[in-house]
Amino acid sequence: MPALPCRQTASILPLQWQNWLIGAIAVLFFWLGLMPQAIAAPCRTIAGDRICIEQITRSAKNHWEYRLTLSRNGQRQTPAIYNCRDRHWQQAGQSQAFVEDGLGDWLCRTLAGRSSEGKRV
């Protein structure tokens, strides 16, 4: 008895459309893989100055202290230590209290939201 020819299972799309769809998906994945990740520094305009967080280091001993390097209107500032518990910041040996709804409050709110505990200051 001769062997019966094998029949392919029914497909939703014709073969030419299947090849086109697979190619389009491959191009999409390749294109998305080449796109750079968005690297955006948190920025805010305070008193007419554009202030962005450039570098953050959290204190291992005092989790409420952050050593920050900021840029003000595109110019990098010297590092400062922001104490979110006592609401003051220290730069070049001088300590100043946070101004109400100012830079220190914004930094502490922003950084507390990114911490692993997720607690707000």
SS (H, E, C) 99-116: CCCCHHHHHHHHHHHHCC
CA distances (Å), origin 4, targets 7, 87, 118: 9, 84, 67
Environment class of 60 (CB within 10 Å of its CB; exposed 0-12, middle 13-18, buried 19+)? exposed
Tens-digit pLDDT profile for residues 25-78: 888 877 777 766 555 668 888 888 898 888 888 888 988 899 989 899 989 989
CA dist., res. 81 & res. 19, Å (int): 58
* Mean pLDDT, rounded, of the chain: 78
| Domain segments of the chain as ranges | 43-114
Is this model's pTM higher than 0.75 or not? no
Calculate what percentage of the chain has a pLDDT beyond 70. 74
